[in-house]
Amino acid sequence: MLAIATISFKQPRLIEEQKRLFSKFLKDDYELIVVENDERMHHEGLNAAAFHLVEERDDPYFGFLDHDVFPIRPTTLISKIRESGFYGIGQRHPATGHLYLWPGFCFFSRAWLAGRRLDFSGLRDGDRRNDGDTGSANWPLFADEDWEKMYRIEHGYKTIRRPDEHGLQSWGYEYFGDWIHFSNGSHWMRVPDPEERDRLLFDLLADL
């Protein structure tokens, strides 16, 4: 059994599409748990979800998703988690080079975690220029030999409209393996014509 906590932020349509596409494409035995994060910082919502999944449940596999991550074809997760005990997208903390899993798509086996604590806060050393993104404080969990065993997936970016100076959160989306990530589903970044962006992205999902 795979328990997955999706961290939502006031976007029920994203969750509806996530549920629909999980039901259609994810072939594992799973439970999708929605954590509505209205009043918390992102890392606080993740840490609350981690406490529930790790301390209050006993699923052999569990993981965490952003609310705008979707499978786009038939896929599995458990078989990939088994490769190294974890699975996802690696990120580096720029100031230290420490490698950790991006918390928008990260999965673990209970056996690999072995009672260790997940901490989705960001690294801090007193210099704000060195602050790490959400999830970077998890870096001590991972040894170099663990990363060498992790299942590898193709990763990249695609456009949905003419590129502009606002970056991917305006004109594109991320893909990795059998999954896509809107990257701005909660509208955390202001971009031109966000309604057009939403329409184009949801049209993409509607074709699945």
Taking a C-beta distance cutoff of 8 angstroms, is the pair 31, 52 a contact? no
Chain segment 10-20, per-residue pLDDT in tens:
899 999 999 99
CATH assignment of the domain containing 50: 3.90.550
Taking a C-beta distance cutoff of 8 angstroms, is the pair 100, 91 a contact? yes
Backbone dihedral angles phi then psi of residue 153, each to the nearest 5 degrees: -130, 150
Tell me: pLDDT of 128 over 90: no
Average pLDDT over the chain reads: 93
Residue with tokens 């596999």: 61
Going by pLDDT thresholds of 50, 70 and 90, the confidence category of residue 27 is very high
Going by pLDDT thresholds of 50, 70 and 90, the confidence category of residue 63 is very high
Domain count, the chain: 2
Residues 125 and 167 in one domain: no
Residues 138 and 160 in one domain: no
Going by pLDDT thresholds of 50, 70 and 90, the confidence category of residue 118 is very high
Angle between helices 12-25 and 194-206 (to 10 degrees): 20
Residues 103 and 171 in one domain: no
Tell me: pLDDT of 59 over 90: yes
Domain that holds residue 202: 155-206
Going by pLDDT thresholds of 50, 70 and 90, the confidence category of residue 40 is confident
Paired residues of 107 in beta bridges:
63, 87
Q: How far apart are CA 81 and CA 66, in angstroms?
A: 18
pTM as predicted: 0.93
Domain end call among 102, 117, 149: 149
What does the chain come to in residues? Answer: 208
**Residue 61 identity (one-letter amino acid):** Y
Residues 164 and 102 in one domain: no
DSSP element (H, E) containing 34: strand 30-36
Residues 79 and 142 in one domain: yes
Q: How far apart are CA 26 and CA 12, in angstroms?
A: 20
Instruction: Please give the structure tokens belonging to residue 57.
Output: 């449940």
Residues 141 and 161 in one domain: no
Residues 9 and 105 in one domain: yes
Residues 144 and 159 in one domain: no
Going by pLDDT thresholds of 50, 70 and 90, the confidence category of residue 148 is very high
Tell me: pLDDT of 114 over 80: yes
Chain segment 72-81, per-residue pLDDT in tens:
999 999 999 9
Residues 116 and 159 in one domain: no
Chain segment 160-190, per-residue pLDDT in tens:
999 999 988 999 999 999 999 998 888 877 9
